[in-house]
Amino acid sequence: MSRLQRLDWPDNGTPDLPPTFTLAEAEGRLAAVRGAMAGAGYQALVVYGDREHAANLHWLTGFDPRFEEAVLVVTEGDALLIAGNECLAYTVVSPLVMAGRVRTGLCASLSLPSQPRGSRRLWEWLDEAIPAGARVGAVGWKWYGAEELPLGADPALALDIPAFLADPLRERAGRVENATALFMHPGHGLRARVDVDDIARLEFSNHMAASALKRMVFALQEGMTDFAAVEAARIGGLPLGCHVTFAMGDTPGLSGPVGDRVCRGVPASFNIAHWGSNICRAGWMARGEGDLPASAAGYLEEFVFPYARAMSSWCAMMRPGVTGGAVWAMIDDRLPDRFGITLNPGHLIGLDEWMSSPIMPGSEIPLASGMAMQMDVIPAHPGWGSTRMEDGYVIADAALREALARTHPNVARRCAARAEFMARVIGMEVPESLLPLAETCGIIAPWLLDPAQVVVL
């Protein structure tokens, strides 16, 4: 029988600082990229990045453009990172650049409007780096299926990079194809698996986001503005993976603070996301069911508790070999149409808040050890509003768990403590293969003005 129980949210201590991105890691990733290039038949790979779409570039090099664009050209024997006026000096954050494994070049056209343009043009750099007539793979941030394109169009030729890069590439190369899936595909993408150092970084990010969200939730008071609520989070200095949201009442869910004041009897949702984490909750500004409007009657029994039980089943399925289609079917069965779930019930997360997902209708892509999974199942109802338990996890087989315990024993210990809390206190099904990354994992507190009341199963 599901119920509410008053309990303390867990606190397993502050993680150690995350491990730095080393030259050895970067060289290994560059070698993997060259291997994937060769396997796909590309003579060159061009990786595009900007402020919103920096994950692939950063994963490979450790460099991300701050407010400009950047282009990385990789061939069998060369790698050239082209940056704008202000980011060129910043490229030294990349261990590959510092070690001379990647050379750099200035293209002022990648800079902000009206800045000096006295440098080589982009097409001149491309002419130097890419053999004429080469088959080129272009990496942006998404790829396309035939059903998204005009009848007869070739999905391989549908590029997701700006025209100022695509046009000179097409002039220089024999064929330019969308190669983004080499990095981001949930089944075989180079970024779709993480190692033990990545897990430590993800845990640090999830801790930072979860701690900020907890501070915000426990500071909520009637009459405070949404700006004051977000200020109470004391968000740390990690880069944001997406915009901080805080929405109450009829304000659209992706909105940030707008000046609304906390009052009883309205639904609310909010999130804090850093690179590698997104901690999100939804509930009601209430201290109990008596604060809800009549239209929300039955919120706990008919909406929150079934959601919590389905999320327990979701955790139970996070094991290597379970197909993404099976997870989709389970959620579709346990949370039918009245729950209003429209997106994939779970996805991969990286520096980008949503990388891709193996969980799709009929998907035969198996969940695999090393997948960093976001529990992102978003119900919505016109009367009940929403509820949420969105946190980060890693699926890890015995070998990966043993490697984590050897390399980062404190990370392994905290993950085990969180799993024990979820199983023993909350009553969720947590397999050995699931590593919870945040202290908020397992926590649903539907009454946001009294968050010590937590759903237990």
- Tell me, what's the pLDDT at 438? 97
pTM above 0.95, yes or no: yes
Span(s) in the chain for CATH 3.40.350 = 43-178
Q: What does each C-alpha distance from 397 to 30, 198, 282, 404, 409 come to in angstroms?
A: 26, 15, 32, 11, 16
CATH number of the structural domain 3-16+191-456: 3.90.230.10
Fold category of 43-178 in CATH: Creatine Amidinohydrolase; Chain A, domain 1 (3.40.350)
What is the pLDDT at residue 16? 87
Task: Output the pLDDT for position 1.
Answer: 85
As annotated, the residues of the chain forming the CATH 3.90.230.10 domain(s) are: 3-16+191-456
10-residue block means of pLDDT along the chain (457 residues)?
Answer: 96 94 98 98 98 96 96 97 97 98 98 94 97 97 95 95 97 96 98 98 98 98 97 95 95 93 97 97 98 97 98 98 98 96 97 97 98 97 96 98 98 98 98 98 98 98
Which residue bears the tokens 């808040």?
A: 353
Cα-Cα end-to-end distance for the chain: 6
> What pLDDT does residue 38 have?
96
Alpha helices in 62-195 (DSSP H): 95-98, 122-129, 163-172, 181-184
Contact 391, 437 (CB under 8 A): yes
Q: Return d(Cα 102, Cα 116) in angstroms, integer.
A: 25
Q: Concatenate the DSSP letters of all residues of 280-326 into one string.
A: EEEEEE-SSGGGS-GGGTTHIIIIIHHHHHHHHHHHHT-STT-BHHH
Dihedral angle at the C-alpha atoms of 251, 255, 261, 262, nearest 10 degrees? 80
Distance between CA atoms of residues 406 and 227, nearest Å? 43
Q: Which residues pair with 277 in a beta bridge?
A: 274
